[in-house]
Amino acid sequence: MRPFDSQKLLMTLVILTLAFGGTVYLNLSEQELTTLVVPANDLPIYHLITASDLMTATLSTAVLPAAPLQQTSELAGRYTSQTLTAEEAVTDAQLVPAVDEKYVLNTTAVSISATAAMAYNGRLAAGAMVTVWTVTDAGQAQPLLEEALVLDVQKAEGQGESEEKAFPYVVILAVPRPKQAELLTAVATGSLMLTFTP
Amino acid sequence: MFANVLNQITGKLDSRFILTLFFPSLIFWGGLTAVYFAHSGLETAVTTWRAQNADIQIIQIIMALAWVTFFAYLLGNQLTWLTKQFEGYWNWFPLLGKRLAKLRQKHYQRVLAWLDENGRYEAIYYGFPFPNEPEAVMPTRLGNILKNSEQYPFKRYDADAVLLWPRLYAVLPDGFSKTLEAAKASLDFMLVVSCLSGLFAFMSGIYLLAVQSVWWLFLLCFLGGLVVAWLAYNGALEAAITYGQLIKSAFDLYKDDLCKQLGYELPKSLVEERAFWGNVYDLIYRGEVAYPGALRYAGIKETVPATAPAQPWLVRWLQSFFGKGETP
């Protein structure tokens, strides 16, 4: 019979012991639980989170992301910047930066195609407050919407190449509901400009 | 964007370097980064990345690829050392190295003896030193395969493979050297993958234990990495057999070309040939030979130097004394 390789068997046993030991250790450490606030249901993108969207859950620290938000006050009144999964911890990066409640109450997310100049060449970011200007037929600029919250700025995708060259960005604004129609009309005429104070 | 930057960088590099060192390094570091973000939040990382300015993204990609290229170059410079570790040259490792090597060597000596007793000559031919030299047995299977190819020219022609190989390689025809390079590249690739997979298993395993990650991710990375390392090592053994056989063939087929290139006459018998290569070894290694007659320069004929013709003025002067004779 071919000589038995006892050292190889020993090595295999050591590796399996390490794997098993590590698994047991992690399973035991998963028992460390923490209680925090999480979405009760899946929340869509650009959704204004209210207290009714939230619930308290006890989760294992092993499955938590770095720096999760824990209190209702840290989540309620803020917009989601991506889809949130039910009963999973939320981080600051998944939400639009916190702003005064008055800028988000009774608003709707409206996206507008933006030129490089309008999006400050990509430097305009979520959380910024902008003024939307429209230009009249007489060539006069007038503020259409003051202090509108920027929910997100994305690179334009899925349009024609020429369209993407002309409007390389999409800016999503929290627009007060009464102003929606006026803004959409201005978008259709294509005479918009954004300004913001850093 | 990533593909463009990658194309520009890899376009400047040698294709063997890219396949053997760059891509395994890229996957290794990509895997470690993925493990890091899998724990700290993959979605958050993607969101943060997308939110960044395009210039910053490009700089980050360039920095990452520059690091991977630098790492691959370092790895390339250590490839000989790495191969030696897979062969079983562990004496440098304090305390354990020598003992472990001795233990493994004893095991393979027992295997070799068993193969010899049971007439498994094919296994010996491809993967072990000669059975009558058990002290040449190495502590690993790869070491034994390569030792086998190293021993062959010495046993057959009394030619030292290690000393003569750089010279023989220089006279190999293009077709053969390309085949040899491909076999070596395959061996290097498998060894690099095996090494990096093992490293990945331990680095990611330790990190995931330290941050108390989920158990299944730890198990996947640790055991997955080790399984890939083991598979790649087995692949390296196959590649080493091919490489070893090519080295043997190179000595069989092109040693005469080397002999001519060195400027010597071809030996006429096996006895002469063994004496010839033994003396070449002495000449290269010690600068002197025991039997100089074994090394005969090719194309040299012993001739009597011709007498220089007399000067015309001397001829005329002699003729004035002795009269005109036949012109010499």
Dist CA B229 CA B204 (whole Å): 14
Question: Residue B289: its pLDDT value, please?
Answer: 78
When mean pLDDT is compared across A21-30, B122-131, B231-240, B310-319, the lowest value belongs to: B310-319
Kindly state whether residues A109 and A56 are assigned to the same domain.
no
Kindly state whether residues A108 and A181 are assigned to the same domain.
yes
A 10 A CB-CB count for B24 gives: 24
Instruction: Establish if A7 belongs to a structural domain.
Output: no
Structure tokens at B239: 């590649």
Kindly state whether residues A74 and A110 are assigned to the same domain.
no
- pLDDT band for B149, please (50, 70, 90 cuts): very high
Dist CA A46 CA A177 (whole Å): 15
Question: Residue B288: its pLDDT value, please?
Answer: 78
pLDDT of A100 above 90: no
Mark B120-145 as b/e (b = at least 16 C-beta within 10 Å).
eeeebebbbbbeeebebbbbbbbbbb
Kindly state whether residues A83 and A117 are assigned to the same domain.
no
pLDDT of B328 above 50: no
CA distance B216 to chain A (A): 8
Which parts of A30-91 fold into alpha helices (H)? Answer: 72-75
Kindly state whether residues A178 and A115 are assigned to the same domain.
yes
State the amino acid at position B256 in one-letter form: D
| Contact between A144 and A132 (Cβ < 8 Å) | yes
- The secondary element (H helix, E strand) that includes residue B112 is helix B96-117
% residues pLDDT > 90 (chain B): 54
Answer positive or negative: Cα dihedral of A184, A188, A191, A195: positive
Inter-chain touch A125–B51, beta carbons under 8 Å: yes
**DSSP label at A74?**
H
φ, ψ of residue B278 in degrees (nearest 5) = -65, -40
A3 contacts in B (CB within 8 Å)? 107, 110-111, 114
| Domain termination residue (choose one: A79, A94, A109) | A94
Dist CA A135 CA A142 (whole Å): 6
Residues 6+ apart with CB under 8 A from A84: A39, A42, A43, A47, A90, A94
Checking DSSP bridges between strand A107-114 and strand A169-176, what pairing results, if any? antiparallel
pLDDT digits (tens, 9 = 90+) for B228-269: 999 999 999 999 999 999 999 999 999 999 999 888 888 888
Structure tokens at B122: 């094919």
Domain count across chain A: 2
Q: Is A198 exposed, middle or buried (0-12, 13-18, 19+ CB in 10 A)?
A: exposed
SS3 label, residue A43: strand
Strands (E), chain A: 33-39, 54-60, 107-114, 129-135, 141-155, 169-176, 192-196
Q: Tell whether ipTM is more than 0.90.
A: no
pLDDT digits (tens, 9 = 90+) for B51-81: 777 888 889 999 999 999 999 999 999 999 9
pLDDT mean across residues, chain B: 86
Nearest CB to B111; choose among A3, A22, A63: A3
| Domain termination residue (choose one: A45, A77, A94) | A94
pLDDT of B226 above 90: yes
CA distance B52 to chain A (A): 9
Kindly state whether residues A173 and A127 are assigned to the same domain.
yes
Kindly state whether residues A80 and A125 are assigned to the same domain.
no
pLDDT mean across residues, chain A: 84
Distances (CA, A) of B47 to A134, A187, A194: 32, 28, 24
Question: Residue B310: its pLDDT value, please?
Answer: 61
Instruction: Establish if A21 belongs to a structural domain.
Output: no
Q: What is the maximal distance between C-alpha atoms in chain B?
A: 118
Which parts of A65-167 fold into alpha helices (H)? Answer: 72-75, 161-166
Inter-chain touch A122–B209, beta carbons under 8 Å: no
Kindly state whether residues A83 and A111 are assigned to the same domain.
no
Cβ–Cβ contact A91 with B under 8 A: yes
Q: What is the maximal distance between C-alpha atoms in chain A?
A: 100
pLDDT of A164 above 80: no
Region of B256 (left: φ > 0; alpha: ψ -120 to 50; beta: rest) is alpha
A 10 A CB-CB count for A78 gives: 21
pLDDT of A197 above 50: yes
Instruction: Establish if A119 belongs to a structural domain.
Output: yes
**Higher per-residue pLDDT: B282 or B68:** B68
| Test mutation, A1, A9, A10, A18, chain B, max B CBs within 10 A | A18
Answer positive or negative: Cα dihedral of B105, B109, B115, B120: positive
Dist CA B134 CA B250 (whole Å): 25
pLDDT digits (tens, 9 = 90+) for A27-73: 877 667 788 899 999 998 888 888 889 998 888 776 788 788 988 88
Most confident stretch, A53-62, A142-151, B72-81, B308-317: B72-81
| Domain termination residue (choose one: A76, A94, A112) | A94
Kindly state whether residues A87 and A157 are assigned to the same domain.
no
Q: Tell me which residue range forms the domain holding A81.
A: 33-94
Kindly state whether residues A106 and A188 are assigned to the same domain.
yes
Question: Residue B327: its pLDDT value, please?
Answer: 46
pLDDT of B41 above 70: no
Cβ–Cβ contact A42 with B under 8 A: no
A 10 A CB-CB count for B166 gives: 8
Kindly state whether residues A66 and A85 are assigned to the same domain.
yes
pLDDT digits (tens, 9 = 90+) for B175-192: 999 999 999 999 999 999
SS3 label, residue A50: coil
Instruction: Establish if A5 belongs to a structural domain.
Output: no
Give the pLDDT mean for A150-171: 81
**Higher per-residue pLDDT: A117 or B1:** A117
Kindly state whether residues A148 and A118 are assigned to the same domain.
yes
| Test mutation, B44, B102, B202, chain A, max A CBs within 10 A | B44
Chain A CA closest to residue B46: A93
A 10 A CB-CB count for B266 gives: 13
Question: Residue B250: its pLDDT value, please?
Answer: 94
